[in-house]
Amino acid sequence: MLKTVPSFGRIGEENAFAVLARATELAQSGRDVINLGIGQPDFRTPDHIVAAAEKALRDGHHGYTPANGILPLREAVCSDLARRLGVEVDPGSVLIVPGGKVTMFMAILMFGEPGADILYPDPGFPIYRSMIEFTGARPVPVPIREVNDFAFSAEETLSLITPQTRLLILNSPANPTGGVTPREEIDKLVAGLANHPDVAVMSDEIYGQMTYDGLEHRSLLAYPEIRDRLILLDGWSKTYAMTGWRMGYSVWPKPLYDLARKLAVNSYSCVNAAAQYAGIAALEGPQDAVREMVEEFDRRRAVVVEGLNGLPGISCRTPKGAFYAFPNVTETGWPAKKLASTLLEDAGVAVIGGPDFGILGEGYIRLSYANSTENIRRAIDRMGEFLSAKA
């Protein structure tokens, strides 16, 4: 018998991919399935970005690039961070990675080991916990509560830090809740972290450009006092509708940068060369498509929230960021995962059960409104018929 190492017995999954596979299977068998399960923009990558990749291929950019990414791209990242956040970042601390996920993989590998604690949001992106468990570290959930509008509570987060804590994972705007942590709360959190100088922070800001109602996204990069232990996770996937290009970046503190670069050398060598040129075009080209996409998500957000709040047993707070709604379904009487799977099988609506995002996800489901308004309306109608029939 082949004997793999025990840590592989602890590695988890992202159930959204399993739901996508089942939804596709049902659709291929002739069923009309509306997919509100998938966490990716339903827009095409803007044409000028695609054109830049085509040009790069024609210009002969077919070989390896430096493992940390081509310099003009890392410089473009720095200019973008200066423009958007008013912060100065050295291109020597920017690492280009094949998707934002790779940053969390690297950061958790660097700090996770048996005996170490890693704090992560619950409900939160499932890969955080999966990777923490893979390393043998203890996953310590930071509760993200509905009463708190799905924001991090600085006080509660700080109270969970122990001498074993090595890494704190933050995510705002958040998947799966759409919660955005307000600036005052982040100020408090950073102030409290001064008492814990050995705790590194990974801030997942992949939805940083998707906030609504004029709400500010407060980046952790804006706090010089923690720059020497901050890992910023961002990328092109959501902002520029580029999930399939596998393009992300991270900003690392100096002592960690070379470790991350070596992980790149030891695994994927470098990110696809043509995609890197596309990444420059995305950052340096017109940003209208980003604005238009966010405005469209905003319109759909209103439709999804109003629709959900009209359904029996469902109540939904207005999400402040990303493109997810996370309604409370407790009053329907259905366990959340069962509700999600039955909605897919019986009503042809794909959503994700809250427990796929953590222990505190029980009682919720996640709907992605990265789908047309018409489909969102149809999905809500179907959910209404389903819930009324089962009541």
- Tell me the β-bridge partners of 168: 119, 201
CB of 99 to ligand PLP, least distance (A): 3
**Rounded alpha-carbon distances, angstroms, from residue 266 to 95, 260, 261, 295, 364:** 14, 10, 9, 41, 40
CB contact set of 63 (below 8 Å; sequence gap of 6+)? 273
Report the distance separating Cα 388 and Cα 391, nearest Å. Answer: 5
CB of 1 to ligand PLP, least distance (A): 34
Count of other CB atoms within 10 angstroms of residue 25: 11
CB of 114 to ligand PLP, least distance (A): 25
CB of 196 to ligand PLP, least distance (A): 23
Report the distance separating Cα 73 and Cα 168, nearest Å. Answer: 28
Take residue 125 and report the two structure tokens written for it. 């992106």
The nearer residue to ligand PLP, 123 or 348, going by C-beta atoms, is 123
The nearer residue to ligand PLP, 77 or 347, going by C-beta atoms, is 77
CB of 125 to ligand PLP, least distance (A): 4
Q: Which residue is nearest to ligand PLP (CB)?
A: 99
SS3 at position 251:
strand
Instruction: Look at residues 356, 119, 321 and name the one whose alpha carbon lies nearest to residue 216.
Output: 321
The nearer residue to ligand PLP, 125 or 277, going by C-beta atoms, is 125
The nearer residue to ligand PLP, 133 or 204, going by C-beta atoms, is 204
Q: With b meaning 16 or more CB within 10 Å and e meaning fewer, what string describes 322-339? A: bbbbbbbbeebebbbbeb
CB of 283 to ligand PLP, least distance (A): 15
SS3 at position 341:
helix
Instruction: Look at residues 291, 271, 223, 285 and name the one whose alpha carbon lies nearest to residue 94.
Output: 271
| HSE-CB of 248 using CA atoms within 13 angstroms | 25
CB of 157 to ligand PLP, least distance (A): 17
The nearer residue to ligand PLP, 104 or 311, going by C-beta atoms, is 104
CB of 140 to ligand PLP, least distance (A): 18
Contact residues: ligand PLP, CB under 6 A: 39, 99-101, 125, 171, 175, 204, 206, 235, 237, 243, 248
CB contact set of 291 (below 8 Å; sequence gap of 6+)? none
The nearer residue to ligand PLP, 179 or 348, going by C-beta atoms, is 179
Instruction: Look at residues 223, 208, 125 and name the one whose alpha carbon lies nearest to residue 169.
Output: 125
Instruction: Look at residues 372, 28, 346, 81 and name the one whose alpha carbon lies nearest to residue 219.
Output: 81
CB of 158 to ligand PLP, least distance (A): 22
Instruction: Look at residues 323, 320, 302, 295 and name the one whose alpha carbon lies nearest to residue 380.
Output: 302
